[in-house]
Amino acid sequence: MAKGFGTGSRIAWHDGTYGRQDDPPVKRRAGGAVMLGRPMLEKRIMVQSKATTVETYLAEADTTRRPWLEKLRDVVRSNLPGHVEGMQWGMAVYTVDGKPIIAFASQKQYVSVYLTGVTVPPAYQEPWSRLDHGKGCVRFRKAEKIEYDLLAAILRDGGRL
C-alpha cells in the first residue's frame, strides 16, 4: 500500500479521475467508457548533472548543500584506499578495481548516498537500518542527519562485493 494512504482513501488517477486505494485499476467514466488507471503517487525527480568531473559537480551544486557534498567527498577519499574518483550516472562515483563502491548525489529534496560495492558489517547494521532508505540509496534531508562517521566506518571495515 502506498505511504500516506489508508485503506479506502481517495487518490487521483493519472487519467484525471478519482478513486479509492483499494479500487481495481479499471475506471468507468460517464457514458460507460472504460479507462485503465494507476495511482498518481508522489513523483520523485532524480537530478542528474552533466558535469564531467567531481570538482565541476561540486562547483555547480547548490550553495547550501555544497559543504555536505564536500565533506562526503573527504570522508570517502580518506576511508576508501585505492579509489578512483569520477562521474557516472550524473553523480560522484568512487570505484576500486573498476567496480563502483559508493556514489552520492544532490537530489531535489535530499542528498542521496549509494553503497553499491560494499556490505555493511554486522556491527553497523542497526544504526544503518535507522536511516531513511530509498530505492538503493540512503537519503539525508538535513546536514545534521548525515552520518559521516558511520559511512567512514562502513567504507573502512565493510566487505567488498
What is the tens place of the pLDDT at every residue in 18-57?
555 555 555 555 555 444 444 444 444 456 889 999 999 9
Specify the range with the lowest mean pLDDT, choosing from 37-51, 66-80, 103-117. 37-51
Specify the range with the lowest mean pLDDT, choosing from 45-49, 99-103, 121-125. 45-49
DSSP letter at 44 equals: P
Alpha carbon separation from 57 to 24, 70, 94, 127, 153 (Å, rounded) = 45, 10, 14, 29, 25
Could you tell me the three cell numbers for 133? 532508505
Q: Domain 54-157: which topology?
A: Aspartate Aminotransferase, domain 1 (3.90.1150)
Could you tell me the three cell numbers for 121? 558489517
The rounded mean pLDDT for the chain is 81
Q: What's this model's pTM, rounded to 2 decimal places?
A: 0.70
Q: Are 114 and 137 in contact (CB under 8 A)?
A: yes
For the chain, the structural domain boundaries read 1-43, 54-157
Q: Are 68 and 76 in contact (CB under 8 A)?
A: no
**Residue 25: per-residue pLDDT:** 52
